[in-house]
Amino acid sequence: MNHPARLLRSGYAAVIGLFSASRVLYGLLGVRFDSSTLPGYMQFIDPPLLRERLLESLWYYHAHPPLLNLFAGIGLKLFGDHADVFFSLSLHALGLAMSLAVYQLTLRLSGSRVAAFICAGLLVFSPSFVLYENWLMYTFPSAALLTISALLLHQYLSTQRTRWAVAFFMVLALLLLTRSIFHLAWMLLIIVLLAVLLRRYWRQVLLAAAVPLLLVVFWYAKNYYYFGTFGASTAAGLGLANITTLMIERERLLPLFEQGRLSQYAMVSRYERPELLFMQRTPVHTGVPVLDQVKKSDGEHYNYNNLQMVVVNRYYVRDAIEVVRRFPASYVIGLIISNRLFFSPTSMNEYFTPENRAAVLPMERIFNPVLYGVGARPRFMQQPHFGFAGSNQIEVHTSLPLIALWCVVLGYGYVQARRGIVGAPPTEARALVIGFIVLTALYLYVVSTTIELSENYRYRFNIEPLFLVLTITAATSLWHKLHAKFATARVENSPAQ
């Protein structure tokens, strides 16, 4: 066996050991897999439909991208009452894959096995990583897909083999069909930039991207044909209302409603009166349960894939645009709050079970200062709900060190990418992968903070593993420069022999 291969295998073994040790530790602390999101959360189709009418329900599903429910349906159909075991094992397998990808990518970008080992260790022991891994939602799978895509991009750029390009674009397509925040426009931008920068290989790039891109376009086109929305989700308006309409007091919205500039949905709270969203005068009955159900089979949770929600979402979007036009200052305040949430620890998600949050608290006391520059004690602010007159609170712990770190690390990444692209052959893998990380981080930041206000830190989790890779790479580069500088100084100051 050659030496590099032996080192690589020993590195993988060490990462697997770290991953296993962290899972044992968190298990002893009391972390348990949480699948209580199914069926209650709006992202899930009713479980009986997943078991009995999976393909039909997925085909007519428009509220969110389909792959989370495909995953849930496979688990329910194949494993029945033991689906929780399937969900848990699958997400932990993704966690291990992400850990190995982070190790390998850091090794390639920094050139240091020590740095790669430290990066993987910080990831697998971080409370956020463990909490999301033990939470049945699309957040952890989307973060894993994004992280793995960066490694596949580096592999393609290093080898110029078509199969790796196809794998990279296919993972991007899976990401878009898992999480709607990753839009077709972002994927198209990545394809165009690679085709332009890799001039000699532009045909290879476009051919490799063709089938994955067509899969996403097909799903968008299906939604446009049936529901009039060219996208993967018809629920964007619900989130947009949080940072627009709900920032304004009802008495200030009332005149616009009376003038017909706002719909009736601008005057009611979907959090307090969700039933009002499903009370159209002439509801349509299609014969397809996933479109006709108002409530899921448990009789408690609403079906946000009901066909009425397509129209309701359009009203929400239209109202949000009108509110921003009429009250721009309130939208700016919403942007400030969303930024405060975006730069808060990703482990503070209030939708985690209280037991899991309590279990990771000892580790948060260690890792929050290291990863985010803040302590583990939660802080709260008033949550906008038709202004700030209500009693609802939202957890927030804005980290100024994290904001500064983002500026420094992304600035470093931009410089490294630009130097590699402009000053060297544009096929240099390291430069283009760093550029991919920087571009995606900026894309997620802009989208996450401008169209939603509630769980912005959860959106940041998607890029957190890759941001950690870039941070460790930057720190390693700085360490090597300082070491070389001091070594040179010692030589110059040493007495002549």
Residues in the chain: 497
With respect to residue 122, please indicate whether it lies within any of the assigned structural domains.
no
With respect to residue 18, please indicate whether it lies within any of the assigned structural domains.
no
Q: How far apart are CA 176 and CA 185, in angstroms?
A: 10
Measuring CA to CA, which residue among 401, 385, 402, 405 is closest to residue 393?
A: 385
Q: How far apart are CA 484 and CA 475, in angstroms?
A: 14
φ, ψ for residue 161 (rounded to 5)?
-90, 135
**Token couple for 473:** 């790479």
Each residue of 172-208: b (16+ CB within 10 Å) or e? bbbbbbbbbbbbbebbeebbebbbebbeebeebbeeb
Q: What is the domain count for the chain? A: 1
Whole-number pLDDT of residue 484: 72
Name residues of the chain where pLDDT drops below 70: 1-5, 7, 280-283, 423-427, 483, 487-497
Half-sphere exposure (Cβ direction) of 300: Cα atoms closer than 13 Å: 5
- Chain segment 93-152, per-residue pLDDT in tens: 999 999 999 999 999 999 999 999 999 999 999 999 999 999 999 999 999 999 999 999
Instruction: Name the helix (H) or strand (E) containing 9.
Output: helix 3-29
Reduced to 3 states, what is the DSSP secondary structure of residue 381?
Answer: strand
CA gyration radius, the chain: 24
Half-sphere exposure (Cβ direction) of 11: Cα atoms closer than 13 Å: 25
With respect to residue 319, please indicate whether it lies within any of the assigned structural domains.
yes
Alpha helices of 228-307 — where are they, by DSSP H? 236-243, 250-258, 289-292
- Chain segment 339-389, per-residue pLDDT in tens: 999 999 999 999 999 999 999 999 999 999 999 999 998 889 988 999 987
Global pTM reads: 0.94
Q: Residue 275: what residue type? A: E
Dihedral (CA of 108, 109, 111, 115) sign: negative
With respect to residue 304, please indicate whether it lies within any of the assigned structural domains.
yes
Whole-number pLDDT of residue 377: 87
Instruction: Name the helix (H) or strand (E) containing 340.
Output: helix 328-342
Domain that holds residue 250: 236-353+367-394
Whole-number pLDDT of residue 496: 52
φ, ψ for residue 380 (rounded to 5)?
-135, 155
Contact 233, 226 (CB under 8 A): no
Whole-number pLDDT of residue 333: 96
Q: Is the peptide bond before 39 cis (omega within 30 degrees of 0)?
A: yes
With respect to residue 146, please indicate whether it lies within any of the assigned structural domains.
no
With respect to residue 197, please indicate whether it lies within any of the assigned structural domains.
no
Q: Residue 331: what residue type? A: Y
With respect to residue 243, please indicate whether it lies within any of the assigned structural domains.
yes
DSSP secondary structure, 125-158, as one string = H-HHHHHHHTB-SSHHHHHHHHHHHHHHHHHHHH
Q: How far apart are CA 405 and CA 403, in angstroms?
A: 5
Whole-number pLDDT of residue 1: 43
Q: How far apart are CA 373 and CA 295, in angstroms?
A: 43
Measuring CA to CA, which residue among 54, 106, 99 is closest to residue 75?
A: 54
Reduced to 3 states, what is the DSSP secondary structure of residue 382?
Answer: strand
Alpha helices of 423-463 — where are they, by DSSP H? 429-450, 456-460
Q: How far apart are CA 367 and CA 122, in angstroms?
A: 8
Q: How far apart are CA 479 and CA 276, in angstroms?
A: 59
User: Residue 257: is it exposed, middle or buried by C-beta count within 10 angstroms (0-12/13-18/19+)?
Assistant: middle
Contact 101, 12 (CB under 8 A): no
Dihedral (CA of 247, 249, 252, 256) sign: positive
From the CB of residue 255, how many other CB atoms can be counted at a distance below 10 Å?
11
